[in-house]
């Protein structure tokens, strides 16, 4: 994962300075949760940012993180965590994801995961960088549905291992690699691997792009 860290930091500092013109951004900075980010995402999507200065961008989100893609940095995304209070501490799922990637490196299975690392703090938010990969939820879901129909395999969808993304990887990876991956996932209790958490690279390889378990 190659990028100019200082250039990226300066860009996003300017980007979030511009976001201060959006009322819902202030709400998100205060609340730091899914609901406030959803409203901010709706407002920023309808805002007019000079594409010569800020490029073309997209903003996505899940339950625990917001994700920013920008055409000036096409090979990476920037993630920011929503904070969940657990026993008076704020739980940062981006930090958990970064830790999981480091564990994958230590155990030699990082090839299955999009690289993830901390970048900087900005306006009280921690920014993280991850390798960009395309997402095709319809393709993954349909492939799994076809796989289950053809094999007659039944799954318990309440089981951590029976996630759409993981079942897709079971088809894509050779058996040895799949066992190596699932051994790691089980060891560190990493689940929530649904169809939106599978990424496709330009060379057609497939990686996990959200592996914080939430």
Q: Identify the domain containing residue 185 by its residue range.
A: 137-208
> Considering 131, 162, 186, which residue would you say is the last residue of a domain?
131
pLDDT of residue 57: 92
* Domains: count for the chain: 2
* β-bridge mates for residue 81, sequence order: 65
Checking if the pLDDT of 87 tops 70, the result is no
**For 144-163, what is each residue's pLDDT tens digit?**
999 889 988 888 776 655 58
**What gap in Å lies between CA 211 and CA 214, rounded to an integer?**
8
CB 145 within 8 A of CB 211: no
**For 21-50, what is each residue's pLDDT tens digit?**
999 999 999 999 999 999 999 999 888 788
**What gap in Å lies between CA 78 and CA 70, rounded to an integer?**
9
> Considering 131, 154, 175, which residue would you say is the last residue of a domain?
131
CB 64 within 8 A of CB 82: yes
Together in a domain, 190 and 107: no
Together in a domain, 12 and 110: yes
Together in a domain, 47 and 117: yes
Checking if the pLDDT of 98 tops 90, the result is yes
Asked if the structure places residue 160 within a domain, the reply is yes
Q: What are phi and psi of 52, to 5 degrees?
A: -70, -25
pLDDT of residue 192: 85
Asked if the structure places residue 192 within a domain, the reply is yes
Q: What are phi and psi of 141, to 5 degrees?
A: -60, -45
Q: Cβ–Cβ contacts within 10 Å for residue 5, how many? A: 11
Both structure tokens of 15: 């980007």
Q: Whole-angstrom distance between the N-terminal and C-terminal Cα of the chain?
A: 24
Together in a domain, 46 and 102: yes
Together in a domain, 11 and 60: yes
pLDDT of residue 46: 84
pTM: 0.92
Confidence of residue 86 (pLDDT cuts 50, 70, 90): low
Asked if the structure places residue 214 within a domain, the reply is no
Q: CA torsion sign, 62 to 66 to 71 to 73? A: negative
């Amino acid at each position: 994962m190659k990028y100019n860290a200082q250039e990226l930091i300066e860009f996003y500092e300017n980007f979030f300075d511009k976001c201060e013109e959006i009322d819902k951004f202030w709400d998100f900075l205060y609340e730091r949760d899914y609901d406030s980010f959803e409203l901010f995402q709706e407002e920023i999507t309808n805002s007019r940012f000079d594409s010569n200065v800020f490029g073309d961008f997209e903003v996505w989100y899940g339950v625990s993180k917001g994700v920013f893609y920008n055409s000036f940095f096409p090979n990476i995304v920037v993630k920011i965590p929503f904070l969940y209070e657990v026993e008076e501490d704020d739980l940062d799922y981006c930090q958990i994801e970064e830790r999981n990637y480091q564990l994958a490196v230590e155990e030699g299975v990082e090839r299955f995961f999009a690289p993830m690392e901390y970048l900087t703090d900005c306006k009280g938010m921690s920014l993280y960088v991850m390798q960009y990969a395309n997402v095709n939820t319809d393709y993954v879901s349909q492939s799994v549905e076809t796989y289950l129909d053809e094999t007659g395999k039944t799954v318990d969808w309440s089981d951590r291992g029976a996630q759409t993304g993981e079942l897709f990887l079971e088809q894509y990876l050779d058996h040895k690699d799949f066992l190596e991956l699932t051994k790691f996932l089980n060891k560190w209790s990493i689940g929530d691997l649904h169809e939106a958490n599978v990424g496709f690279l330009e060379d057609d390889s497939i990686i996990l792009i959200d592996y914080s378990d939430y």
